[in-house]
Structure formats: structure tokens, C-alpha cells
């Protein structure tokens, strides 16, 4: 059932084919080969292979506990994989820290958002990337840029960017976390259930935002339990089942019924296309 | 990107900042308002009970009493912001001062600056060591510094008793003695306080104006000038207090040297906390260490920095303490000192839960504690009553801290 291989759509990134490992598609921005992760006796990831092309939205789907969050944490430098290889633009890399992931151009919005409630929106947006002038924080520049980014993403519900993040609603917090991830020039943006806590119009806005990121040539990985959202936004789909990546390929290869089969049983007799 | 989105989302006018104020009020983040009201009530009470309270002599004395609480509370604040605590800071500061006093006496006769450097280096080294154990071995700061509370008292007693001076070493060197016991001339008092106020006003004006000129929401112009006027007025009041003759037989006036030390330490620490990345990261780690880590911040490095800064501040505190007592004895109650330091910080509004607080809170809290001790002594209340009053103030403060914390998370 696994559909490895050729990416559809224009290949925007002809990587150096020579440096690529065995079986690594050099047109992919990110390639995972045999990634596994143990938590003691729990095998959260079992030899996961995945290719993520630039300029496309890859939806990562799977049941609760399938290993989706663990997989993206391995990419983002939060967890060190127990085994396997990661290729970035065709070159083998090891991502030991969040900073290393960031330096490659990987930005992540976590399921738990990872915002500091005691800091305001501007402070959270620039956390770890503060603008300074002669060593002193440049609050004005950061505040102006924050307003610009939020306006750009049509985040219109916060009344002041100097509001403490702890006082925001779930949707507002999500919007800030997304804005934070896309503010820095990233090549890959990973979002763990970005619409889970959102109302109808904010969900539409985030999905719209995801498409716009992809249109700019950014690779996006989205985890979602909402198949409507997935089919609305994804160019590619990857399905996880009990730590295995059981299927991946262009969205045209799937329909909601086969996706549900894959999510719940790890296989599907129905295959679109 | 899309033009539709280009209307600034968070467009702002004066109203939003008023809304922000209101929101903060509702969140329970009242800033300095409650503690200042509390302080005012205490002042009025003591003044009514004994009119000596607001005399220049007593107020100057009160500021000097507050100095030790203020500096130790500032030392503690670095760690409270991380959600950590240092129980050893009282004995550590006394130990640094002990080394300075020993090196200054006849036997060694070190120059004052070298002895002061040794004192601060000692407390910094101890802070670093304890921080290193806590961070690298993942030990709880409560326990490590509790061991410090006991251990450094031992080292202190050992060091003092070895001198064979009967458990007390007097400060005989002039500079260290003068730190608390001598005063700037009235003219120098004017110059120092007015210059400090001028710098502070300049920062406020520039801050508000650059926000206004960048089109960011800011307070109304008259509020800026009101703040400036209030600062200048309080500066003048301070000068008048210090420059009033408080001697009975000889003329005694001018600001004690300890006050500029406080002001410089407060300015430096506030600068680090509010204007530098290091300060921002200390708040972030105290608020959500995992989020800070994921933002690429080297969490351990900044935690260690906080322990180091605690050590530095404790060193300065110890020197002022020794100067005030005119010596250092093996009976120093570092346990009581540290508890009052934590109480000062918390009464001032710094959270015990990490992530919330300011250096200026330590100053206000220290003044509250000093006011209680000073005022109670004036109206002849017993030590027992002083303890109980401090306890009540502390419980009120920590309750407000807890309520504020609940208020700020309830909307999540
Ligand atoms: N830090 C951890 N320690 C131990 N086990 C873990 C840890 N993190 C995840 N697991 C286990 O790994 C498995 C995969 O978890 P993961 O969070 O990746 O699932 P998920 O696909 O993101 O699920 P959900 O859709 O509910 O978010 C689960 O069995 C989980 O219990
Ligand atoms: Mg998950």
C-alpha cells in the first residue's frame, strides 16, 4: 500500500543528487529514511520513510498516539531519533537541538503551542530572535514588525500586541504561534493540529494561510484530525498507524473513505486513482 | 501579501491602552498599586502614633535599615523570576563581608578595593557553585541552598573564630565603614539625586516619544509629563530629607553613601532585566522553560547567569551589612535575613511561582519591611509583635500573588 517516490507538481529544488543517500529523492526538501524512536519499551516510530517537497502542503494524519507529534519533534530537534537518517536538501544532517532545526530553516508550531504566558505577544513573537540595537532590545522595531506580520496574516482579533499571551483565547494563541513560526524566513513550516482549537472563520484563515505559505515555495507539514481540512489544503498525504508510516503520496491517490481506512486499520482496499 | 490584510490588525488609539490597563487590573496584575497603598497606610499609622516617624533623622535611618533588605531581595529576585529560591543568601553575603573585614584589619591590611573585590568574588563563586550543582545535577534549589544555609554558616563561624577576636571582627578601615556611616555633602546629594532623576526622566520621555512617533499606542503626553513631574518632586523630597540637619550636637546632613549604591544596583539590575536578551530570557524561562528551550534559548546558561547575579548582588549586600553593624560577628542570623529578603521581594509583588516581578518590587518590599521594624520600634512594640506584623503582611502579599496567578491563567 505504501506509495513511495515521485513527487507530483513542479520540482522547485534540484538538489545535488550526488550527496544524496540511497533512495533519497533529491527533489525533496526533507527526506526521512528509517527514522525510529523508542521511549523505553514504547516504540513510537518504526522505520519511518517520508519525503517532503518544497512548495507543497503535506498532511500528516493518523489516529491518537500514532506517532505524528513524535515524528515532527524528531524533525524539529526536540527528540533525538533512536535510529535512521534525515536528509535536508539532499544532504545528510543531524538535528540535535531546536536551534539546529531553526538554522536549517525549519519552524514548528507545536500542539501545546509553547508560548510564555507571562510575556506579551511581541515578546513571544521574537523570543530567541530579539532585535537589538547596540546590545539593547529594540522594542519599537519588534512591535512594528509584529503588527505587520499579524496584519499580513489577517489576525484581527487581538486588541493590543502588548497583551500578555496568558490572557488570549485558544484561537488567538494559535494565531500567534503560527505567526511566530512564519515570521522568520523558513523553508519548512511544521504545524501540529493548527486548527484544533479554532472557530470556523479562524480555521478558514489558518487554512488560507497554509496555502499562501506553500504558494511562496515553503514546504508545509500539517498534522490534522479533520479530514475536511486535510482534503481542502493538502497536496500530499502521509498516514501513520501505530508508529508506522503506512502510506504516502499525492492527495489525488486518496479519498476520505480510503483515508479513514488507513487511519483506523493501517491498510485500505479502496484506493482512489 | 494580500491587500485585504493590510489594515493593521491591532490598530490602536488611546483607548486600547486604557483597555490594556483594565485588562491587567482584571487579571490581578495591579503592579505596585496595592503595596504602595499598604506602605502609605503603615506610614500614616506610625506617624499618628509617633510624630518622630516622619522626621528627617528617622527617615534616613529607615532608608539605611531598608538597604540590606532591598539588596538581598534584589539578589533573591533573580532566582524567584526563574521559580527558584536561594535560602543561603543571608549567610553567603555575610561570609563575603567576613573575608573583606578580615583582609582589611591590621593583620593583612589589604587596600579597600581589593577586599571589596574579594567579598564580591566570594559570593559570586558560591552562587555559581550552587547554581552549577542545581542545574547540572538537576537538584532542587530549595535543598541545595538549604545545605548552603547550614554549610556557609559553618564556614562563617569557623572563619571568624579563627581570628581569635572573640567572635566579632570590627570594621576598622575607613572606606568600608563610611559606606553606611558617612554622608555625601548636601551639594553632592543634590547633584547625585537630580542627575539620577534627570536620566530616569530622559529615559521615560524618550520611550514615550519614540513610541508615539512610530505610531504605536502610547500614553497621552500629559501622562508622560505627569510621571516626570512626580519623579522630580519625589527626588526633591528625598534631597530635602537627606539634607535636613539630623544631628543633635553636631551638624549631620547629606545622603548616606549606601543610598547611591542602592540606586546604582537597582538601575543596573533593571536594565539587564528589561533591556537585554538575558533579562528577557530569564522571564521566559520562569514563565515556560520548555517554550524557552524550543525557542532556541540555552536555558541552562541563563539559569546559571541568574545564580551568578544573585551572588554578585549578595556580595554588595554583605558589605553594606558589615558597614552598618560596624563589624561582623559569628552570631549573624543569616536565616532570618534570607526570610526577610524573600518576604521583601514577594511583598513588593514578585511572584514565588516564577516569571513575574521586577527589581523595583524588591525596593518597595524592602521599604515595607524596614517601615514595620522601624515604626514598631518607635512605638515600643515588642519584637514579638514585629514578627507577627511582618507575617501578616507577607501572607497578604503571597495571597495576592496567588490570586494574580490564577487570574492570569483562568482565561486560557
Ligand atoms: N515523552 C514521551 N514518553 C513516553 N512515551 C511517549 C512520549 N511521547 C509520546 N509517547 C508515546 O508515543 C506514542 C505516539 O505519541 P504521539 O504524541 O506522537 O501521538 P500523536 O500521533 O501525536 O497523537 P495525537 O493525535 O493524540 O496527538 C504514544 O503511544 C505516546 O504515548
Ligand atoms: Mg500529537
| Residue ranges covered by each domain of chain B | 32-182+256-405
Instruction: Tell me if B98 sits within 8 A of B169, measured CB to CB.
Output: yes
Instruction: Tell me if A150 sits within 8 A of B9, measured CB to CB.
Output: yes
Sign, CA dihedral B23-B25-B29-B32, equals positive
Q: How far off is chain A from B408, nearest CA to CA, in Å?
A: 6
Q: What is the pLDDT of residues B63-112, one digit of tens each?
A: 999 999 999 999 999 999 999 999 999 999 999 999 999 999 878 889 99
pLDDT for the residue B173: 87
The strand ranges marked E within B157-238 are: 168-170
Question: What is chain B's percent helix, strand, coil content, to nearest 5?
Answer: 75, 0, 25
Q: What is the DSSP string of B98-126?
A: HHHHHHHSTTT---HHHHHHHHHHHHHHH
Closest ligand, as measured to the CA of A79: 1
Binding site membership of A94 for ligand 1 (Cβ less than 6 Å) = no
Enumerate residues 83 to 112 of chain A having a beta carbon within 8 A of any beta carbon in chain B. Answer: 97-99, 102, 108, 110
C-alpha span between A188 and A40 (Å, rounded): 30
User: Is it the case that residue B230 has pLDDT exceeding 90?
Assistant: yes
For the ranges A192-201, B59-68, B270-279, the lowest mean pLDDT is seen at: A192-201
**Residue B176 carries which DSSP code?**
H
Report in angstroms the alpha-carbon separations of A270 from A248, A256, B208: 15, 10, 65
Q: Which of B7, B296, B412 is nearest residue A166 as measured by Cβ atoms?
A: B412
Report in angstroms the alpha-carbon separations of A132 from A139, A143, A188, A195: 8, 12, 26, 33
Beta-sheet strand order (sheet of A83-88)? A42-53, A28-39, A83-88, A91-93
**Residue A166 carries which DSSP code?**
G
Please tell me which residue of chain A has the smallest CA distance to B356: A118
Domain at B32-182+256-405, CATH class = mainly alpha
With a CB cutoff of 8 Å and minimum separation 6, the contacts of A126 are: A142, A145, A146
* Every domain of chain A and the residues it spans: 29-113+186-265
Q: What is the pLDDT of residues B176-222, one digit of tens each?
A: 999 999 999 999 999 999 999 999 999 999 999 999 999 888 888 89
What letters, b where the CB count within 10 A reaches 16 and e where it falls short, cover B360-374?
bbbbbbbbbbbbbbb
Quick check: A164 and B216 CB within 8 A? no
Atom of ligand 1 nearest to the CA of A63: 25
pLDDT band at B3 (very low <50, low <70, confident <90, very high): very low
Sign, CA dihedral A76-A82-A88-A93, equals positive
Helix (H, G, I), strand (E, B) or coil at B19: helix
Higher pLDDT, A36 or A272: A36
pTM higher than 0.95 for the full model? no
User: Is it the case that residue A118 has pLDDT exceeding 50?
Assistant: yes
C-alpha span between B363 and B238 (Å, rounded): 15
pLDDT band at B119 (very low <50, low <70, confident <90, very high): very high
C-alpha span between A92 and A85 (Å, rounded): 7
Q: What is the pLDDT of residues A40-58, one digit of tens each?
A: 888 999 999 999 999 999 9
With a CB cutoff of 8 Å and minimum separation 6, the contacts of B364 are: B32, B35, B36, B39, B347, B348, B349
**Partners of A136 in the beta sheet?**
A133
Q: What would be the CATH architecture of the domain defined by A29-113+186-265?
A: 3-Layer(aba) Sandwich (3.40)
C-alpha cell at B356: 513575574
Report in angstroms the alpha-carbon separations of B375 from A132, B52, B262, B340: 46, 10, 22, 16
pLDDT band at B408 (very low <50, low <70, confident <90, very high): low
Tell me the pLDDT of chain B averaged across its residues.
88
ipTM, interface predicted TM-score of the complex: 0.85
Please tell me which residue of chain B has the smallest CA distance to A146: B10
What's the average model confidence in pLDDT over A230-242? 94
Q: Which residue has the cell 526536540?
A: A78
Sign, CA dihedral B43-B47-B53-B55, equals positive
Q: Which residues of A touch B7 (CB under 8 A)?
A: 151
What's the average model confidence in pLDDT over A216-239? 92
Q: How many CA atoms lie within 13 A of A182 on its CB side?
A: 25
State the pairing for strand pair A188-192/A106-109: parallel
Q: Which residues of A touch B276 (CB under 8 A)?
A: 135-137
Task: Say if A153 is an interface residue toward chain B (CB within 8 Å).
Answer: yes
Instruction: Tell me if A192 sits within 8 A of A69, measured CB to CB.
Output: yes
Report in angstroms the alpha-carbon separations of B382 from B211, B333, B386: 52, 19, 7
Binding site membership of A39 for ligand 1 (Cβ less than 6 Å) = yes
C-alpha cell at A144: 512594528
Amino acid at each position: 500500500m505504501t506509495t513511495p517516490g515521485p513527487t507530483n507538481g513542479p520540482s522547485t529544488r534540484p538538489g545535488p543528487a550526488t550527496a544524496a543517500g540511497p533512495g533519497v529523492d533529491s527533489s525533496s526538501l526533507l527526506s526521512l529514511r528509517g527514522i525510529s524512536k523508542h521511549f523505553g519499551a514504547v516504540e513510537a516510530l518504526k522505520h519511518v520513510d517520508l519525503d517532503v517537497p518544497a512548495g507543497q502542503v503535506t498532511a500528516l494524519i493518523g489516529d491518537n498516539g500514532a506517532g505524528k507529534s513524535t515524528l515532527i519533534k524528531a524533525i524539529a530537534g526536540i527528540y533525538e531519533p533512536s535510529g535512521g537518517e534525515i536528509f535536508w536538501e539532499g544532504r545528510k544532517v543531524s538535528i540535535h537541538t531546536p536551534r539546529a532545526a531553526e538554522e536549517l530553516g525549519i519552524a514548528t508550531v507545536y500542539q501545546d503551542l509553547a508560548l510564555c504566558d507571562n510575556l506579551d505577544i511581541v515578546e513571544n513573537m521574537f523570543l530567541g530572535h530579539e532585535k537589538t540595537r547596540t546590545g539593547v532590545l529594540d522594542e519599537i522595531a519588534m512591535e512594528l514588525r509584529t503588527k505587520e506580520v499579524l496584519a499580513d496574516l489577517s489576525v484581527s482579533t487581538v486588541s493590543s500586541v502588548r497583551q500578555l499571551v496568558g490572557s488570549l483565547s485558544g484561537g488567538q494563541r494559535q494565531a500567534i504561534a503560527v505567526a511566530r513560526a512564519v515570521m522568520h524566513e523558513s523553508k519548512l513550516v511544521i504545524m501540529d493540529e493548527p486548527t484544533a482549537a479554532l472557530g470556523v472563520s479562524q480555521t478558514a484563515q489558518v487554512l488560507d494561510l497554509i496555502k499562501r505559505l506553500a504558494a511562496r515555495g515553503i514546504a508545509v507539514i500539517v498534522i490534522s484530525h479533520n479530514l475536511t481540512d486535510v482534503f481542502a489544503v493538502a497536496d500530499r498525504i502521509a498516514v501513520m498507524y501505530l508508529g508506522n508510516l503506512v502510506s504516502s503520496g499525492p492527495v489525488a491517490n486518496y479519498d476520505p473513505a480510503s483515508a479513514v481506512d488507513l487511519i483506523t486499520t493501517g491498510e485500505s482496499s479502496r484506493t482512489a486513482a | 501579501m494580500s491587500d485585504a490584510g493590510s489594515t493593521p490588525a491591532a490598530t490602536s488609539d488611546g483607548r486600547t491602552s486604557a483597555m490594556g490597563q483594565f485588562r491587567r487590573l482584571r487579571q490581578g496584575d495591579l503592579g505596585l498599586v496595592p503595596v504602595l497603598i499598604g506602605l502609605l497606610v503603615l506610614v500614616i499609622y506610625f506617624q499618628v502614633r509617633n510624630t518622630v516617624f516622619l522626621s528627617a533623622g528617622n527617615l534616613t535611618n529607615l532608608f539605611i535599615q531598608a538597604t540590606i533588605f532591598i539588596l538581598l531581595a534584589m539578589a533573591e529576585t533573580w532566582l524567584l523570576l526563574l521559580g527558584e529560591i536561594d535560602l543561603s543568601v543571608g549567610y553567603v553575603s555575610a561570609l563575603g563581608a567576613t573575608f573583606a573585614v578580615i583582609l582589611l584589619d591590621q593583620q593583612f591590611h589589604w587596600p579597600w578595593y581589593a577586599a571589596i573585590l574579594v567579598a564580591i568574588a566570594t559570593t559570586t563563586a558560591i552562587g555559581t557553585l550552587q547554581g552549577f550543582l542545581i542545574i547540572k545535577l538537576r537538584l532542587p534549589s530549595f535543598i541545595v541552598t538549604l545545605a548552603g544555609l547550614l554549610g556557609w554558616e559553618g564556614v562563617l563561624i569557623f572563619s571568624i573564630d579563627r581570628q581569635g577576636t572573640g567572635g566579632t571582627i570590627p570594621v576598622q578601615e575607613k572606606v568600608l565603614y563610611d559606606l553606611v556611616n558617612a554622608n555625601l555633602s548636601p551639594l553632592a546629594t543634590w547633584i547625585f539625586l537630580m542627575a539620577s532623576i534627570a536620566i530616569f526622566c530622559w529615559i521615560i520621555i524618550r520611550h514615550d516619544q519614540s513610541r508615539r512617533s512610530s505610531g504605536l499606542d502610547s500614553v497621552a503626553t500629559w501622562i508622560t509629563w505627569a510621571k516626570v513631574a512626580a519623579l522630580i518632586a519625589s527626588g526633591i523630597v528625598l534631597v530635602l530629607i537627606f539634607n535636613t540637619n539630623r544631628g543633635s550636637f553636631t551638624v549631620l546632613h547629606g545622603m548616606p553613601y549606601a543610598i547611591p549604591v542602592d540606586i546604582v544596583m537597582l538601575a543596573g539590575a533593571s536594565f539587564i532585566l528589561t533591556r537585554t536578551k538575558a533579562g528577557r530570557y530569564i522571564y521566559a524561562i520562569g514563565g515556560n522553560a520548555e517554550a524557552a528551550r524550543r525557542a532556541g534559548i540555552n536555558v541552562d546558561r541563563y539559569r546559571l547567569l541568574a545564580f551568578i547575579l544573585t551572588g554578585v548582588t549578595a556580595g554588595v549586600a554583605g558589605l553594606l551589612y558589615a558597614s552598618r553593624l560596624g563589624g561582623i560577628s559569628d552570631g549573624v542570623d543569616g536565616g532570618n535575613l534570607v526570610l526577610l529578603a524573600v518576604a521583601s521581594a514577594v511583598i513588593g509583588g514578585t511572584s514565588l511561582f516564577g516569571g513575574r516581578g521586577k527589581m523595583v518590587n524588591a525596593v518597595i518590599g524592602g521599604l515595607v519591611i524596614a517601615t514595620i521594624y522601624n515604626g514598631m520600634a518607635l512605638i515600643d512594640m515588642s519584637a514579638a509583635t514585629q514578627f507577627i506584623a511582618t507575617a501578616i503582611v507577607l501572607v497578604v502579599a503571597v495571597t495576592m500573588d496567588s490570586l494574580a496567578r490564577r487570574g492570569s491563567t483562568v482565561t486560557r
